[in-house]
Amino acid sequence: MFSIRAMTLNDYDTVIELMSATPGISLREADSRESTARYLARNPAMSFVAEIGGGGARVRHVRT
C-alpha cells in the first residue's frame, strides 16, 4: 500500500537521495535545500511524494 501527499522540506534528504541514485538525473543549484524551501513555500501542494508502507522514511519518488 502507498499514499501520496504534498512534499515538505522534511522530505528533502530522502528525495535528493532518490534523485542522486536515478540514472539520467543531475542535480544543480536549484535542487539545494534553500532553493527547494523557497520553491515549496512559493508553490504549496505542487510537489508530491509517494510513501510505501507509511510510518517513517521509506523510498519515495517526487513528482513536480
Domains of the chain, CATH where assigned: 2-63 (3.40.630.30)
pTM of the predicted structure, to 2 decimals = 0.77
| Amino acid 51: pLDDT | 83
**What is residue 55's predicted lDDT score, i.e. its pLDDT?**
57
Q: CB–CB of 14/57 below 8 Å?
A: yes
CA proximity to 52, closest of 60, 40, 44:
60
Report the C-alpha gap between 35 and 30 in whole angstroms: 5
What pLDDT is recorded for position 58?
52
Q: Where are the beta strands (DSSP E) in 1-64?
A: 2-6, 48-52, 60-63
| Residue 12, pLDDT score | 95
Return the pLDDT at 28: 94
Q: Across the 64 residues of the chain, what is the mean pLDDT of every consecutive 10-residue run?
A: 90 92 92 96 92 61 55
